A and B are shown apart, each in its own frame.
Chain A
Amino acid sequence: MQETQAASSGFFNGFAPWFMNKLLMGRSWPDYARSLATPFNVMAVAILIVSIPSFYSRYTQGLSSVVHASAEYPWGLLLSWGIFAGEPLYACGFLAATAYYVLGYKGFKPLVRLGVMAGMLGYMFAASYLLIDLGRPWRLYFPMAVGFGPSSVLFIVAWHVCLYVNVQLLEFTPAILEWLGSKRIHKWVVSATVGLVILGTVLTTIHQSALGAMYLITPHKLHPLWYSSYLPVFFLSSAVFAAMAFLVMLMAVSVKYFRHMCDSAFVDSVERNTITLGKGIALSMYVYFALKVIGVAKDGLWSSLATPYGYWYLFEVAGMLLLPAVLMTYGVKSSNMFAIRAASVWAMLGIVLNRVNVNLVAYNWSMPDHFKHITPPLPETLMILSMITLQLMVMRWILNRMPVLGQASAYRDVH
């Protein structure tokens, strides 16, 4: 009780110390400014500055000034990367939370917050990509409030992503409240966690599969090797291992670059949890591979494999799915951290490739000048690069300040 008062009085009476403590990480302005001059920051600022004209012309001249803007190819890499390739990775929050709170993986405790933070942030950034690509971004909330299109799979996606962002925000609230020093709300939010996690499981299942289901309506536009009535299942099952692989890499980056923020429980858990996740990744990759094979068999597409698009399909399914799964198996068997992490990156690239294939490469595959249409123009590429940079910077900002990689000491027994 006393601590609560101390925290709240600090909140209101001493803004300067609070500001320095919470935002400048306990440093003075000059010290803080000096600490910002790093190679990463120089690169980041350069990318952001170079992309400013693209953003400016998008919002003053319209979409045609930055993307291909064609009637046959309404969506480009901006959405393919920002939404379709990103969201399977951002299932990391759902995955860590469900494993820990519901499935009883007690060892995952140290990485739950990391997963939830990265997932929440990812979803927010996915929504930001929409703010670029929607013709009228200021109407983003329309499917939630103004007009309802319940027969639309995109309506399903919009609603579930919107709800899920809020669920994740609530799941992450304990960390924010610990950072700000509020105990009463903290307790209240923690008690609601299990319900939130189960709701998150429902929402994730639906919207990850819905992203695949969005393409069920394009049977003659999408190449038969990528079009399948299994699309929702493909997207959902591949999100499972993509998210776990993302978690593996989040842990690796955290102990390497944010070690000063990690508590001992986190550092000690990294190796064990990497192997546990590696097992899960390998298993779910084999499941997804089996589904893909069944998909080809079900639609009788064996002969299509001996075409140029067939080779590309084989590259995706053998080269970017089966091979990393084999490497992952080896890594887990020999407890080789490097192999597990390399296989994780490989698997994530495979998922990005799959989503880009569905959205761009295999979509309208028989159109003349197809590859000219799917190559993103420079402004679009710059905007994507700057969004990635921003996302990394915000993630770093949070990791450096909030108790993500270790719980604030005053709250240790609450969770």
Chain B
Amino acid sequence: MSSKIKRDRGPRGVVGNGSLDTRGQGMTRRSFLTIGALGGCAAACSAATNASAQQPLGGWPDSYGMLTDFTMCVGCRSCEKACNEENGLPKPELSFDDERVFNEERRPNASAYTVVNRHENPADPDRPVYRKIQCNHCLEPACATACPIHAYTKTPEGPVIYDKDLCFGCRYCMIACPFYVPAYDYDSAFDPKIVKCVMCYDRIRDGRAPACAEACPMGAVTFGKRDKLLELARHRIEDGPGRYMNHIYGEREAGGTSWLYISGVPFTELGFPEGVPDRPMIELTQNYLDSVPMVFTVWPALFGLVYGAMRRKDKQQDNADDEVRSDGR
């Protein structure tokens, strides 16, 4: 079924959207890094050549995703309310139907996995655009790449989840995330943790849609297989000329994300970060990590050689001195 879709999509399909085999290679690459990081040597070097010849990573096959259509969102914040209840988060100061929250731009934080902001519509000032923000659930998440404790997991179902019992609070995932998503509850002295949307992972495993998608009365948030959502997004863009920008945000950004967006106004006007690379963020550090085992193998030999040469020189010097002394006698 899914392979048929892939073939049908042809050149317009998601490049490198992995088959199971590709994914397997990706895992090999990660486990190679374990060896490298811990100083494994010769075997790792041969693996390095394989790694560089690999195809781009493409995420789990047949995984779920979400599609947010900003042209449909009316800013009712039902999604925020549903998310708050589903995840047992503290009640906000202003209620979910209080429009005053739109007076300032908000972002997800320790007590809200998702927020909706109001933006001016350059085309029609009477119809503002609402943007829902939450984790984009990258196919190759930068947070998971950056986490030194492996607290993040990209699940085969699609959500990027994390284990707060592993997190020690270095916040490098926040540095690494190209979308500024993870938040930290800095207010807690004894139990602080990283906080972000987990795409209602438990609900997805139970066969239900995430709470925000289920709660949206306008159908602006759609849950489904990512492949299908890409098709749906493409259809909407083609069927409504002039209604959408010709861009599915998340199709390629940071190597592709499980959460996709289509919009009637440019994404940068909605506060989407500019300059996010199209390739997975892990590729930016890959070469460096590959070089680590090289240092472990080459350096000791190189410096050992210099040390040996210096010792030899010293010995020759000593012998020469001895000869001079015995000659003198």
- A-side residues, CB < 8 A to B, are 58-64, 67, 69, 71-72, 74-75, 98, 101-104, 130, 134-137, 139-140, 142-143, 146-159, 194, 198-199, 201-202, 205-206, 209-210, 213-221, 232
Question: Is B148 a contact of A149 with CB atoms below 8 Å?
Answer: yes
By the criterion of a CB under 8 Å from any partner CB, how many residues of chain B are at the interface?
Answer: 65
CB proximity of B265 to chain A, nearest CB, Å:
20
Give the residues in chain B near A214, CB-CB below 8 Å.
Answer: 172, 175
Q: A102-B307, A220-B274 are in contact. Are A71 and B109 (CB under 8 A)?
A: yes
CA gap between A209 and B289 in the complex, in Å: 11
Chain B contacts with A in 145-178, Cβ cutoff 8 A: 145-151, 163, 166-172, 174-176, 178
Question: Is B273 a contact of A220 with CB atoms below 8 Å?
Answer: yes
Question: Is A103 a contact of B310 with CB atoms below 8 Å?
Answer: yes
Looking across the interface, which residue of chain B has its beta carbon closest to that of A364? Answer: B180
Interface of A is mostly: helix
Give the residues in chain B near A201, CB-CB below 8 Å.
Answer: 299, 303
Question: Is A206 a contact of B295 with CB atoms below 8 Å?
Answer: yes
Max chain A C-beta neighbours (<10 A), residue from B178, B180, B277, B289: B289
CB proximity of B187 to chain A, nearest CB, Å:
5
- B-side residues, CB < 8 A to A, are 30-31, 33-34, 36-38, 107-109, 142, 144-151, 163, 166-172, 174-176, 178, 180, 182-189, 192-193, 273-277, 281-282, 284-285, 288-289, 292, 295-296, 299-300, 303-304, 306-307, 310, 313-314
Given contacts A135-B171, A202-B300, A220-B273, 6 further A-B contacts (CB under 8 A): A69-B184, A139-B167, A142-B168, A149-B151, A156-B292, A206-B295
Question: Is A220 a contact of B276 with CB atoms below 8 Å?
Answer: yes
Give the residues in chain A near B313, CB-CB below 8 Å.
Answer: 104
CA gap between A69 and B183 in the complex, in Å: 10
CA gap between A291 and B134 in the complex, in Å: 40
CA gap between A135 and B30 in the complex, in Å: 27
* 17 residue pairs bridging A and B, Cβ less than 8 Å apart: A135-B193, A137-B169, A142-B168, A148-B150, A152-B146, A152-B150, A155-B37, A156-B292, A157-B148, A198-B303, A202-B295, A205-B295, A206-B292, A210-B288, A214-B172, A219-B284, A220-B277
Question: Is A74 a contact of B175 with CB atoms below 8 Å?
Answer: yes
CB proximity of A216 to chain B, nearest CB, Å:
5
CA gap between A130 and B170 in the complex, in Å: 8
Q: A64-B187, A139-B168, A202-B299 are in contact. Are A147 and B151 (CB under 8 A)?
A: yes
Looking across the interface, which residue of chain A has its beta carbon closest to that of B307? Answer: A102
CB-contact partner of B186 in A63, A148, A151, A220, under 8 A: A63
Question: Is A217 a contact of B281 with CB atoms below 8 Å?
Answer: yes
Give the residues in chain A near B180, CB-CB below 8 Å.
Answer: 71-72
Looking across the interface, which residue of chain A has its beta carbon closest to that of B284? Answer: A216
Question: Is B107 a contact of A205 with CB atoms below 8 Å?
Answer: no
CA gap between A98 and B285 in the complex, in Å: 28
Give the residues in chain B near A139, CB-CB below 8 Å.
Answer: 167-169
Question: Is A198 a contact of B304 with CB atoms below 8 Å?
Answer: yes
Question: Is B192 a contact of A219 with CB atoms below 8 Å?
Answer: no
Question: Is B174 a contact of A102 with CB atoms below 8 Å?
Answer: no
Question: Is B145 a contact of A152 with CB atoms below 8 Å?
Answer: yes
CB proximity of B248 to chain A, nearest CB, Å:
19
Question: Is A159 a contact of B38 with CB atoms below 8 Å?
Answer: yes
Question: Is A149 a contact of B150 with CB atoms below 8 Å?
Answer: yes
Looking across the interface, which residue of chain B has its beta carbon closest to that of A359? Answer: B175
CA gap between A139 and B150 in the complex, in Å: 14
Question: Is A62 a contact of B189 with CB atoms below 8 Å?
Answer: yes
CB proximity of A78 to chain B, nearest CB, Å:
12
CA gap between A58 and B190 in the complex, in Å: 10
Max chain A C-beta neighbours (<10 A), residue from B142, B275, B277, B303: B303
